[in-house]
Amino acid sequence: MEFQQSDLVLLEMGGLLNLGTRSPVKLGEGDIVIGRKITLSNPSVKDFIVVRGFGFKKTEHSQQLKIPIIVKRSNVDERISSVLASFTYITNYQKLAANIEAIIPLINCIIENAGCEIAISDRKETKNGKIDKRLIFVNRYIREHYKEPLTLQLLSELIKCNPIYLSNTYSRVFKIPPMRFLQVYRMKKAQQFLLETNLSICEVAEMIGYVSYSQFNEIFKKYYNVTPGQYRINHPSSRAGMISGGDGMDQSIKSKQFDI
């Protein structure tokens, strides 16, 4: 089956399927694919596989998506899983539409997050279907050290290359510059801290590497169109029963990181 349209599609696999035709990527049950053109095939001639999902309008955050991206089942956000689960028995279409609309900012964040698994491997920036290990190292280093004052110069020194070369090659492979990815990843973490903890806004800013509250406030508003404080007010139920900080919170967040 092939899905192709001007808008984007998010699909959840109900079983084992292949993505693409030239170099098929194996998908497991519960894996999610997001893209403009998604070609799926069933390797089994006996099993009937259910695929569920929805289409949504392109936004400025999704313009960079030229190839499908995959989010493995273990990394799928619970809020997305909850909406998809409601497709089994639909009783209120208006409520379903509202729930889908509520997770679009999260999906846009996933699209910009270059840590998502790359779905198509036959690209000029890869060798034998594999990404340069140095770029993968930089990507993971950013995700593990996003709280620190990272610079392009520092990242380039880690892999012993020119900063301009790093920026150009990283951008071609992940479709986002490394410093831009750092900002996107910090905003994703900020969203999680605001929704899942009782940390103050200033504490959240410090947790994701911002010394200046005003800078954090300004950047967050560019991504979510509201200030961090207003964002938290708009999502009060998400923080029910949460505690501030602690190992439990950190473990929860780590379990949702996207792995290459």
pLDDT tens sequence across 229-243: 999 998 875 554 443
89 band by pLDDT with thresholds 50, 70 and 90:
confident
CB 244 within 8 A of CB 60: no
pLDDT (0 to 100) of residue 103: 84
Tell me what the mean pLDDT of segment 39-65 comes to.
77
- CATH code of the domain occupying 2-118: 2.60.120.280
| Least confidently predicted of 143-152, 163-172, 206-215, 239-248 | 239-248
Which amino acid is located at 168 in the chain? N
Tell me what the mean pLDDT of segment 156-167 comes to.
88
| The most confident of 102-111, 190-199, 240-249, by mean pLDDT | 190-199
Q: Which residue has the higher pLDDT, 237 or 33?
A: 33
Q: Is the domain covering 127-260 a CATH 1.10.10.60 domain?
A: yes
pLDDT (0 to 100) of residue 241: 46
pLDDT (0 to 100) of residue 243: 38
Is the pLDDT score of 247 beyond 80? no
Helical pair 178-196 and 213-224, crossing angle rounded to 10 deg: 90
Condensed to tens digits (0 to 9), the pLDDT of residues 183-205 reads 999 999 999 999 999 999 999 99
Average pLDDT, the chain: 78
CB 194 within 8 A of CB 229: no
- pTM, entire model: 0.47
pLDDT (0 to 100) of residue 148: 93
pLDDT (0 to 100) of residue 204: 95
User: Structural domain boundaries of the chain?
Assistant: 2-118, 127-260
Element (H, E) at 33: strand 32-41
pLDDT (0 to 100) of residue 226: 92
CB 50 within 8 A of CB 99: no
